[in-house]
Structure 1
Amino acid sequence: MAGADDEAARHRRVRKPYQGNHEACLVPLGLEAYRERPLYVLVAQWCLRQEGWVNRNQIAAAFGISARSATFQLTYLARKKAQIASVLRKVRRGTAMMESSEIRVLWVHPEAGVRKTKTTVTETMPLKRVQKHRVGNADEAMRAQWRDIWRGLHKERKT
């Protein structure tokens, strides 16, 4: 019975993506309030709660995503400077001269990942009238020449 409860709890923690080209992930315990926000906000909140340096393998394990996806999330966090204050560092691993990145999240904006309501185009700018019969910035004489050329081409095509 306990196994069934664990499976049901795990199923409730699975977050399905809105886009078909993204993979599903787990929502770590304590982050249920951010479930509807984008994945990068979930990752940022989780990193903030770790209160230390976090690498891609830790993110991948916590969210049940691939290490490659975790790397994308790490990079995305580092670039969202208006919404997330973070520090990124390079760390050498083992005897090999391989570097990996670690991030430390210092602050997450409370409205990070919240979509703003869209304003309609008519509210932001007046409609421009499309001029269908003019060619660029040409004067009247030039437009007359273009019309003659165009009509001549059409006549040749019809015959």
Structure 2
Amino acid sequence: MTGRENRRGRSRCREPQQSNHDVCVVPEEVSAHEGKPLYVLVALWCLKRGGWVNRGQIADAFGISERSATFQLTYLSRKKEQICCELRKVKRAGVPVESYEVRVTEVSPEAGVRKVSEKQREAVKTIQRGRVGNADGDVRELTRNIWNSLQRGRKA
């Protein structure tokens, strides 16, 4: 994350942690939670707004595309154990397609924190390096010899 200010001076640009994500803007209202994932920031921002929010408002506030804002709405509605929200369909006059709006009523303090079990931690510690597959020593040696003879034949 960088501390670059945007042109309005009220929000900060946030560099993504993954290469397939875009840069977004963190609104001043949620800048205290800047280290959290984007969907948590969006949920906190919606909570502070207190009403129904659509994808256009999220896109404007966070400087992301409306498509990305739609993904954030989906995230909010699916993270039920972390974010308590209501989702509704809205039909706009003159537009044939319905759109969704969300109203966030509660955000868990643990939202965005990944819980890693002890079993997963132990699995990371005991990773074997260098050997691939489940063949026994004799089969590995035979395979190695065949490979080496093929390599020697190719060099000739």
Under a length normalisation based on structure 2, what TM-score does the superposition of the two structures give?
0.71
Name 1:145's counterpart in structure 2.
none
> Could you give the per-residue CA deviations for residues 51-110 of structure 1, whole angstroms, max 9, x where no partner exists?
110000000000000000000000110000000000111000112331000000010001
What SS does the aligned partner of 2:60 have?
helix
Name 2:53's counterpart in structure 1.
54
Structure 2: unaligned runs, 5 residues or longer: 127-132, 137-145, 147-156
Distance in 1 (CA, whole Å) between partners of 2:8 and 2:52 is 32
Distance in 2 (CA, whole Å) between partners of 1:106 and 1:123 is 37
Name 2:12's counterpart in structure 1.
13
Name 2:108's counterpart in structure 1.
109
Give, as a single letter, the amino acid of the residue that structure 2 aligns with 1:26.
Answer: V
State whether residues 6 and 12 of structure 2, in contact with CA within 8 Å, keep that contact through their aligned partners in structure 1: no
Runs of 4+ residues deviating >6 angstroms: none
Distance in 1 (CA, whole Å) between partners of 2:100 and 2:91 is 9
Distance in 2 (CA, whole Å) between partners of 1:90 and 1:122 is 42
**Once the 2 structures are TM-superposed, how far is the Cα of residue 35 of structure 1 from its aligned partner?**
0.5
Give, as a single letter, the amino acid of the residue that structure 2 aligns with 1:101.
Answer: Y
Structure 1: unaligned runs, 5 residues or longer: 134-153, 155-159
Name 1:146's counterpart in structure 2.
none
Distance in 1 (CA, whole Å) between partners of 2:62 and 2:121 is 42
Matched, 1:85 2:84: yes
State whether residues 55 and 69 of structure 2, in contact with CA within 8 Å, keep that contact through their aligned partners in structure 1: yes
What SS does the aligned partner of 1:111 have?
coil
Q: Percent identity?
A: 54
Provide the aligned length of Structure 1 versus Structure 2.
135
Under a length normalisation based on structure 1, what TM-score does the superposition of the two structures give?
0.69
Give, as a single letter, the amino acid of the residue that structure 2 aligns with 1:75.
Answer: T
Change (3 A) 1:83 1:95: same
Change (3 A) 1:67 1:131: closer
Choose 1 or 2 for highest CA Rg: 1
